[in-house]
C-alpha cells in the first residue's frame, strides 16, 4: 500500500469514526428523572431534519439569522447535513439563530414555563463561548420600559457550565451568583450531551445529561414576560474558530 493511499484510508477512517460519534439520533423524549413525564407535553421542537432559516428576517420561519440589534451572520457560518446543524465562528463573527424575527412585526415564537433541552456537541477549549438561551420578547420589541428577563439555559464559560438568570433594569444587571458549575471530570464536550432547564414560577433548575446541576430563584419580571430561544456560536479568542453542533432542541410544557 502506498503511503498516500494509507494516509487517505487513515483520514477516511478517522472521518467515519468522527461521523459515527456525532451522528444524529431520533428526538429523545426522555425527561430528567425528577420530572413526572405524565405531567408534561411536547410543545415545540426542531430535530433539524430540515433547517428552516429566514436569512433576511422576513417570512414565517422557525429560525431567524441574528438579532434585532446585530447584522445577520455570513451564511457560510451555518452548515446543515444528516439532521445536524453546525454553527461556527470566524474572527469575531459567530452564527446565531433565534425564534424571533429581527424585523418589527415579523414572525416570532416565544415561550413561558416548561422544560427546555438541546442535544449539543461543541469545540472543547477554554476560549469557546457557545450559548443556548432565552431572552425577553418585550425587550426585543421595545415594549418593556427597559425592564426585562433573560434566562441562560447553557453557556460554556471558562470550560464551566454557566446557567444564569438575569434581571435587567435600565441596562443594569442583577443575576444569580451560583451560575458556574464544573462539569464531571473527563466530560468530553465535543461529544453529544443534553443541556436542559426547567422554568416554573419563581424558579429555574438546570440539568446536564438529564442530571440536576443547580437551581436559582427568578425575579418577578420573568413571570410576566415571554421569552424567545437563541442558539449561538461565539468565542473569547477571535483567533480560535469554534463550532457548535445541534441535533435537536425540544420544549416541553406542563399539561394544562
User: Is the CB of 83 or the CB of 163 nearer to Ca ion?
Assistant: 83
Smallest separation, CB 45 to Ca ion (Å): 10
Smallest separation, CB 249 to Ca ion (Å): 9
Distance CA 62, CA 246 (A): 15
User: Is the CB of 78 or the CB of 148 nearer to Ca ion?
Assistant: 78
User: Is the CB of 230 or the CB of 250 nearer to Ca ion?
Assistant: 250
User: Is the CB of 111 or the CB of 248 nearer to Ca ion?
Assistant: 248
Smallest separation, CB 247 to Ca ion (Å): 4
Q: Residue 178 in contact with residue 214, Cβ under 8 Å?
A: yes
Cell numbers for 129? 463561548
Smallest separation, CB 118 to Ca ion (Å): 11
Point out which residues bind Ca ion (CB under 5 A).
24, 47-48, 83, 247-248
Q: Residue 231 in contact with residue 118, Cβ under 8 Å?
A: yes
Smallest separation, CB 49 to Ca ion (Å): 6
- The residue of the chain with the least Cβ separation from Ca ion equals 83
Tell me the torsion sign for CA atoms 126, 159, 187, 131.
negative
Give the list of residues 6+ apart from residue 93 with CB closer than 8 angstroms, or none. 73, 74, 77
User: Is the CB of 62 or the CB of 137 nearer to Ca ion?
Assistant: 62
User: Is the CB of 150 or the CB of 247 nearer to Ca ion?
Assistant: 247
Smallest separation, CB 217 to Ca ion (Å): 34
Smallest separation, CB 81 to Ca ion (Å): 10
Listing DSSP states for 182-223 in one string gives: PPPTT--TTS-EEEEEEEETTEEEEEETTEEEEEEE--GGGG
User: Is the CB of 164 or the CB of 245 nearer to Ca ion?
Assistant: 245
The neighbour count for residue 113, using CB atoms within 10 Å, is 14
Distance CA 131, CA 244 (A): 9
β-bridge partners, 157: 160
Q: Are strands 96-98 and 63-65 parallel, antiparallel or unpaired?
A: antiparallel
Distance CA 68, CA 66 (A): 7
Amino acid at each position: 500500500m502506498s503511503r498516500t493511499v494509507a494516509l487517505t484510508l487513515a483520514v477516511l477512517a478517522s472521518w467515519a469514526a468522527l461521523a459515527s460519534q456525532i451522528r444524529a439520533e431520533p428526538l429523545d423524549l426522555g425527561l430528567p428523572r425528577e420530572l413526572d413525564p405524565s405531567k408534561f407535553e411536547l410543545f415545540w421542537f426542531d430535530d433539524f431534519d430540515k433547517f428552516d432559516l429566514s436569512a433576511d428576517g422576513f417570512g414565517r420561519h422557525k429560525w431567524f439569522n441574528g438579532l434585532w440589534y446585530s447584522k445577520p451572520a455570513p451564511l457560510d457560518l451555518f452548515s446543515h447535513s444528516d439532521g445536524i446543524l453546525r454553527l461556527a465562528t470566524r474572527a469575531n463573527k459567530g452564527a446565531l439563530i433565534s425564534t424571533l424575527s429581527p424585523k418589527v412585526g415579523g414572525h416570532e415564537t416565544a415561550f413561558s414555563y416548561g422544560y427546555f433541552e438541546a442535544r449539543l456537541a461543541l469545540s472543547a477549549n477554554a476560549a469557546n463561548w457557545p450559548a443556548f438561551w432565552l431572552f425577553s420578547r418585550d425587550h426585543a420589541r421595545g415594549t418593556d420600559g427597559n425592564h426585562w428577563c433573560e434566562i441562560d439555559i447553557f453557556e460554556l464559560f471558562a470550560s464551566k457550565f454557566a446557567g444564569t438568570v438575569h434581571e435587567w433594569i435600565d441596562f443594569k444587571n442583577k443575576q444569580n451568583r451560583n451560575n458556574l458549575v464544573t462539569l464531571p471530570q473527563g466530560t468530553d464536550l465535543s461529544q453529544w450531551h443534553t443541556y436542559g432547564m426547567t422554568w416554573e414560577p419563581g424558579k429555574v433548575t438546570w440539568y446536564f445529561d438529564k442530571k440536576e446541576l443547580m437551581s436559582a430563584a427568578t425575579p418577578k419580571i420573568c413571570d410576566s414576560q415571554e421569552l424567545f430561544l437563541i442558539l449561538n456560536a461565539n468565542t473569547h479568542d477571535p483567533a480560535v474558530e469554534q463550532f457548535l453542533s445541534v441535533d435537536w432542541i425540544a420544549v416541553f410544557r406542563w399539561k394544562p
